[in-house]
Amino acid sequence: MGSGEPEIVARPGARVFATTRWTVVLQAGGPTSEVSMWALEQLCRTYWYPLYSFARRSGVPPPDAEDLTQSFFAHLIEKDVIARADRERGRFRSFLLTAFRNFCAGERERHSAAKRGGGRTIVSFDELQAESRYQHELQHELSPEKLYDRKWAASLLEQVMNILRLEYATLGKGPLFDILRTVLWGGRLESSYELLARQAGLTEGAFKVAVHRMRSRFRECLRQEVAQTVATPGEVDGELRHLLSALGP
């Protein structure tokens, strides 16, 4: 990277595909490895909201949606569910939704709401905040499956932005990040590059270079995050196209 560009913050599985979180989970095939359990819990903590949204859009009331999501993750972590995952079609997004559907169907059959979760909290979220977020983002024309994909994609983008925010903050460039993020997507700008450059304390030319670097780093991080959720490198491009299309109208 060029001088002054944010360095990559090291984190497990960021560079070598063979050690990404989902491939670690698949290789372990069950709750026998501390590393695989760590990887699975990280995936679950990041992507609980798409499942909550799926449950709500499917007609599940807020308390039951929260309960189902929480207890599903306990079930996923503690039972040998991963051993039954299809390693030839190992997208974590697809695996998670299929496993959640099966779990919900089983819960309805057992009528065991009072016993869900087993006392273990896998993801931590405020039920009222989750429901408020769901109501704020509600889009009635989307099916549960399409809403799930859209929230999955949004969660990936949020994760990438958090990575970038941390990288810039680590370099003491948090204020620059706040300015650059306003032009990350391109499109029509409320402020000119010249004005934004002055706010950043840069020349217009230097600001444009900073924008280019941030966009390049964003694409790199997004690709890395998608790679964490598929089983083979060949699946990354297709998953990227699917998730980005899920954000469309």
User: Does the residue 113 lie in any domain?
Assistant: yes
Residue 137 lies in a domain: yes
Does pLDDT of 154 surpass 80?
yes
- Distance (Å, whole) CA 68 – CA 54: 11
pLDDT of 166 above 70: yes
pLDDT in tens, 210-243: 999 999 999 999 999 999 888 888 889 999 999 8
Is there a domain that residue 6 lies in? no
Question: How many domains would you assign to the chain?
Answer: 1
Does some domain include residue 1? Answer: no
Indicate the average pLDDT of the chain. Answer: 78
**Whether pLDDT at 14 is above 60:** no
Establish if 7 belongs to a structural domain: no
**pLDDT band at 85; cut points 50, 70, 90:** low
Domain-embedded: residue 10: no
Lowest mean pLDDT among 82-91, 148-157, 159-168, 221-230: 82-91
DSSP codes joined into one string, the chain: --TTSPPPPP-TTSS-GGG-HHHHHHHH-STT-HHHHHHHHHHHHHSHHHHHHHHHHTT--HHHHHHHHHHHHHHHHHSS-GGGS-GGG--HHHHHHHHHHHHHHHHHHHT-GGGTTTT--SS---HHHHHHHHHHT--TTS-HHHHHHHHHHHHHHHHHHHHHHHHHHHTT-HHHHHHHGGGTT-S--SS-HHHHHHHHTS-HHHHHHHHHHHHHHHHHHHHHHHHTTSSSGGGHHHHHHHHHHHT--
Within a domain: residue 2? Answer: no
For residue 11, is it within any domain?
Answer: no
- pLDDT tens-digit map of 110-131: 654 444 444 455 555 555 577 7
pTM of the full predicted structure?
Answer: 0.78
Question: Domain range for residue 54?
Answer: 17-246
